[in-house]
């Protein structure tokens, strides 16, 4: 058995990753460490109840004793750090907690892993640490002069992209905190020979995403005939990746990526926010037969402060070195995602009413 210690495994991507690992392999045990902030939801993991290969620890990555103890008790082979504050708008309102969790939490985890894994001869055995980072650390790209109606570059070969060598230039408190954590991870590798690797992925979408982020927010509001708030002109472009493709990339890099390296993860699915919102309106209307879901619901609102114009990932390295390819095109993934939200009204209801936060008490209190 190989033991993965996954932090933030009750969040959106983390829970998809845990479900992916335990759903596709029987040689893996997962120790899932999550502080259960507003973004952590154990209902995402309800299908793992009673699975002896899933161990949940309610703990904070900033807690030195708790992390040291988890590493001693469970002796993980691989640590994957998803735990973070992840919403840019919240980072603009309250940047301090992003520095605390994303920077100091990462430094604490690195410190504890280094202490636990040190073999006394300057090595760390076969242990590996993966830091889940984001393309937002690179800053923003220009929108090319010619774009397709969906917002993607009309001439992809002539457009600019983020490469692993692109200098970091974060703009939001969120991306600044993620970039800072990346520098600490690299410092641990370069200074101590610590066995770390970093992934930088583009925007994810799929099941279990908290409905404060663009895609689930728009699906949820459309179903309720609420306004669909679009920042500014809506022409900002993001490179969208179906979460399952990200999970496969993380698994590959965690086990086979070259230590000390960074791997960009993206699938060349650049779409403008307006295109995403229009697609959701038409798909949700089709899936529900509800004629009241129209573009009249769209409302342009004041733009986000410092709103990056375009992100676009060059995923050549992970493809060439590790053979990773995205399997889900945006037009397929968005349909699957909408279908998941329509089929799981209780999950949405619990998250939006706050009831999900009592789940831990119901399922775990007193155990
Ligand atoms: N969502 C995206 O599109 C995207 C893209 C690229 C990279 N990422 C990165 O992937 C990671 C996961 O993103 P997500 O969208 O799933 O985030 P999320 O907000 O859905 O989940 C974060 C999880 O971390 C937990 N957490 C927060 N602070 C913690 C702490 N101090 N100790 C332990 N657990 C804590 C939360 O309870 C939650 O379960 C983040 O590091 C994020 O920067 C996200």
Q: What is the pLDDT along the chain (367 residues), one digit of tens a residue?
A: 999 999 999 999 999 999 999 999 999 999 999 999 999 999 999 999 999 999 999 999 999 999 999 999 999 999 999 999 999 999 999 999 999 999 999 999 999 999 999 999 989 999 999 999 999 999 999 999 999 999 999 999 999 999 999 999 999 999 999 999 999 999 999 999 999 999 999 999 999 999 889 999 999 999 999 999 999 999 999 999 999 999 999 999 999 999 999 999 999 999 999 999 999 999 999 999 999 999 999 999 998 888 989 999 999 999 999 999 999 999 999 999 999 999 999 999 999 888 877 766 776 665 5
- Structural domain includes residue 24: yes
Tell me the CA–centroid distance for residue 8 and ligand 1, in Å.
6
Tell me the CA–centroid distance for residue 53 and ligand 1, in Å.
22
Tell me the CA–centroid distance for residue 11 and ligand 1, in Å.
6
34 Cβ below 6 A of ligand 1: yes
The ligand 1 atom nearest the CA atom of 265: 6
- Structural domain includes residue 96: yes
Look up the domain containing 256 and give its range.
2-206+240-270+306-324
Residue 367's pLDDT is 53
- Structural domain includes residue 247: yes
106 Cβ below 6 A of ligand 1: no
Domain CATH for 263: 3.40.50.720
- Structural domain includes residue 358: no
Task: Round to whole Å and give the CA distance between 346 and 307.
Answer: 33
Which residues are CB-contacts of 289 (< 8 A; sequence separation ≥ 6)? none
Supply the angle between the helices 106-117 and 64-74 in degrees, to the nearest 10: 40
| Catalytic residue set | 135-136, 174
> pLDDT tens digits, residue range 33-91?
999 999 999 999 999 999 999 999 999 999 999 999 999 999 999 999 999 999 999 99
- Structural domain includes residue 149: yes
Backbone angles phi, psi at 164, to 5 degrees: -60, -25
- Dump the DSSP string for 11-48: SHHHHHHHHHHHHH-SSEEEEEEE---TT--GGGGGGG
Domain count, the chain: 1
7 Cβ below 6 A of ligand 1: yes
pTM reported for the whole predicted model: 0.96
Residue 366's pLDDT is 55
Residue 355's pLDDT is 80
- Structural domain includes residue 118: yes
- Structural domain includes residue 348: no
11 Cβ below 6 A of ligand 1: yes
Half-sphere exposure (Cβ direction) of 259: Cα atoms closer than 13 Å: 16
- Structural domain includes residue 299: no
Q: Is residue 275 classed as helix, strand or coil in its secondary structure?
A: helix
Tell me the CA–centroid distance for residue 195 and ligand 1, in Å.
22
Tell me the CA–centroid distance for residue 88 and ligand 1, in Å.
12
39 Cβ below 6 A of ligand 1: yes
Ligand 1, pocket-test mutation among 5, 6, 12, most atoms within 8 A of CB: 12
Task: Round to whole Å and give the CA distance between 364 and 43.
Answer: 12
The ligand 1 atom nearest the CA atom of 36: 37
């Amino acid at each position: 058995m190989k033991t993965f210690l996954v932090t933030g495994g009750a969040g959106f991507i983390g829970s998809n990753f845990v479900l992916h690992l335990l759903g596709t392999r029987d040689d893996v045990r997962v120790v899932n460490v999550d502080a259960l902030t507003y973004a952590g939801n154990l209902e995402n993991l309800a299908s793992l109840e009673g699975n002896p290969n899933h161990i949940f620890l309610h703990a904070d990555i900033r807690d030195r004793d708790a992390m040291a103890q988890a590493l001693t008790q469970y002796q993980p082979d691989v640590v994957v750090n998803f735990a973070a504050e992840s919403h840019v708008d919240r980072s603009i309102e309250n940047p301090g907690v992003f520095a605390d969790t994303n920077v100091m939490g990462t430094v604490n985890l690195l410190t504890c892993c280094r202490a636990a894994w040190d073999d006394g001869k300057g090595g760390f055995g076969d242990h590996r640490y993966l830091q889940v980072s984001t393309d937002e650390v690179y800053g923003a790209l220009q929108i090319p002069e010619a774009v397709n109606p969906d917002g993607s570059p009309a001439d992809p070969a002539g457009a600019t992209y983020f490469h692993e060598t692109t200098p970091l230039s974060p703009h939001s408190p969120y991306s600044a905190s993620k970039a800072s954590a990346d520098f600490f991870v690299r410092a641990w590798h370069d200074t101590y020979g610590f066995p770390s690797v970093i992934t930088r992925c583009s925007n994810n979408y799929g099941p279990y995403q908290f409905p404060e982020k663009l895609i689930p927010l728009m699906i949820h509001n459309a179903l309720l005939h609420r306004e669909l708030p679009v920042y500014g002109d809506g022409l900002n472009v993001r490179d969208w990746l179906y979460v399952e493709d990200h999970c496969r990339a993380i698994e590959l890099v965690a086990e086979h990526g070259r230590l000390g390296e960074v791997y960009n993860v993206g699938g060349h699915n650049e779409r403008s926010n307006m295109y995403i919102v229009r697609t959701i309106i038409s798909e949700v209307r089709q899936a529900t037969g509800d004629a009241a879901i129209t573009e009249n619901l769209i409302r342009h609102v004041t733009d986000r402060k410092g709103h990056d114009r375009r992100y676009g990932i060059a995923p050549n390295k992970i493809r060439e070195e590790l053979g990773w390819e995205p399997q889900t095109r945006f037009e397929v993934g968005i349909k699957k995602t909408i279908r998941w939200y329509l089929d799981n009204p209780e999950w949405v209801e619990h998250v939006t009413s706050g009831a999900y936060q009592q789940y831990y008490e119901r399922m775990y209190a007193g155990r």
